[in-house]
Amino acid sequence: MTGVLVPGAVNLRDVGGLPARSGRTRSGVLYRSGNLAHLEDPGVAALGDLGLRRIIDLRDDEEVAHAPSRLGDLTVTTQRAPLFLGSVASFFEDDIPLDEMYRRIVEESADRVVEVVRGIIADQPVLVHCTVGKDRTGVTVALTLAAAGVDEEAVVADYARTEGLLPEWRNRKVVETLRRLHPGAVNLEDLATRSPAPVMAALLAGVAARYGSIGDYLRAHDLRDDELDELRGILISDS
């Protein structure tokens, strides 16, 4: 679970080294981050050094148009898998709590979650990202890791780590902007800046209670057993 220095990228890290039932997650296979819209030449070069073969972008069309990824001449497959049925703005307008946002991702965008898992299986190294790398990326990566057999405490800790990686200046600017738009919002700061461990722990427990396991959740939405086995082999090293 190591940070990766890519100038201009926020919250970019390798999820390698997490404990799993049969070993640990492999390093240099699955990365996660916020958007790639602010990369300059040094950042593009550093991203290229990761040897990425696929980038999975979870943002909606409006977000991509507003902040397109800056990948220079990198040769990499880009997979779009928008993970909200509504706009990002709608979550702030509706002032929903994080746990409700995550429940909607799990239940309303399950087919897209499976698309992401299949993208991870298709090519490695692979980077999964959204705008901040906190919620859509956090939920999808957590489900992926849990289905592969990563220890739940480690999955939750990886999610919770994001909050400490978001720059204070960024949080202050985002909250000020959103507060002007939604002055009475109760959940605004949580939605914009926080990744509380209990929220992810409750989400995973809820999915397991409803489906039997995180793997069963993916199976219920058409991921095959052989694909799940392949995911585990890709992400987990027994040594």
Using left for φ > 0, alpha for ψ between -120 and 50, and beta otherwise, residue 4 falls in beta
> What whole-number distance in Å separates Cα of residue 167 and Cα of residue 146?
28
pLDDT at 4 over 80: no
pTM over 0.85: yes
Average pLDDT over residues 108-133: 96
CATH number, position 202: 3.90.190.10
Range of the domain at 52: 2-237
Number of domains forming the structure of the chain: 1
Specify the pLDDT at position 2.
Answer: 58
- Residue 237: strand pairing partners: 24
Tell me the percentage of the chain whose pLDDT exceeds 90: 76
Tell me the percentage of the chain whose pLDDT exceeds 70: 96
Specify the pLDDT at position 225.
Answer: 98
Kindly report, residue by residue over 191-215, the tens digit of the pLDDT.
Answer: 889 999 999 999 999 999 999 999 9
